Amino acid sequence: MVTLTHIGGPTALVEFAGWRILTDPTFDPAGGKYKFGWGTGSVKTAGPAIDPAQLGPIDAVLLTHDHHEDNLDAAGRAFLPEVDTVVTTASGAQRLGGATRGLTDWQTTELAKPGSPTIKVTATPCRHGPPLSHPIVGDVIGFALDWGEGVLWFSGDTVLYDGVKSVAQRLKVDVAVLHCGGVQFPVTGPARYTMTGHDAVELVKLLQPRVAIPIHYEGWRHFRDGQRGVERAIAQAPADVMERFRWLPIGEAVSLS
């Protein structure tokens, strides 16, 4: 049985068969102001539902990118040395150093420990902004976890584009965890940096997962298409798409079986 706990923002805890895997650790309290570069920034409006000291042992951290503090903040960065295995982008691994594993699109690594199934972790493409924005926004990846019982996929921070759509051709996704929020900044006008609710619906039409779970839509001021926006998009979706979406109460462990 797979259990997922949405801790807040992009941070989620995956538990199954003895594994405890954390995504994008963000543990700073609410109220902080952050700069993302090139005139962009945001304010954190909600702290984590679970304090890192209450988490217990973590086997691995899957970090979609290390250079934006809404995905790895100061408290999250301080937490990383407590974990034996950190997997992130190739460029992020160079910045973090140590034994951090770096992946590029479609590269894989394995997580293994006695008494639990081996997990194949595959990096999936992301584009964290409009076309040609990569030199500004940097490398980002998603993560597909496969232990032989269906793929659990975290989209990472991305807009809807051909690279993300290719996941539907290459993987059979059972559970899709989708970073939404429709991030925008005043300095860049209408440009978006993550998926909107309508994007999430379009992606679920392609993926046809058993379950689709929105995360990273709350807790920060730069989200322009938060839970209400995603809910409106889901409400307008065909019934067979609508019924796949599931909201996780923040801070509560939920079985995905």
- Region 81-97: what's the mean pLDDT? 97
Which pLDDT band holds residue 149 (cuts at 50, 70, 90)?
A: confident
Which tokens sit at 65? 């990118």
How many of the other CB atoms lie within 10 Å of CB of 233?
23
Cα separation, 210 vs 44, in Å, equals 32
For position 39, what pLDDT does the model report?
84
Element (H, E) at 205: helix 197-207
CATH topology for the 3-255 domain: Metallo-beta-lactamase; Chain A (3.60.15)
- Region 114-142: what's the mean pLDDT? 96
For position 69, what pLDDT does the model report?
96
How many of the other CB atoms lie within 10 Å of CB of 166?
15
pLDDT digits (tens, 9 = 90+) for 160-182: 999 999 999 999 999 999 999 99
Of 162, 167, 190, 169, the C-alpha closest to 178 is: 167
pLDDT digits (tens, 9 = 90+) for 199-225: 999 999 999 999 999 999 999 999 999
- Region 91-107: what's the mean pLDDT? 97
- Region 58-81: what's the mean pLDDT? 97
User: Would you tell me the crossing angle of helices 197-207 and 227-235 to the nearest 10 degrees?
Assistant: 50
Which pLDDT band holds residue 257 (cuts at 50, 70, 90)?
A: confident
**Chain-wide mean pLDDT for the chain?**
96
Q: Is 203 helix (H, G, I), strand (E, B) or coil?
A: helix
Cα separation, 59 vs 54, in Å, equals 15
Q: Is 109 helix (H, G, I), strand (E, B) or coil?
A: strand
Which tokens sit at 191? 């440009």
Read off the DSSP letter of residue 186. G
Which pLDDT band holds residue 37 (cuts at 50, 70, 90)?
A: confident
Which pLDDT band holds residue 82 (cuts at 50, 70, 90)?
A: very high
Domain borders along the chain are 3-255
How many of the other CB atoms lie within 10 Å of CB of 177?
27
- Percentage of the chain modeled with pLDDT above 70: 100
Strand partners, 153: 144, 176
Which pLDDT band holds residue 1 (cuts at 50, 70, 90)?
A: confident
pLDDT at 87 over 90: yes
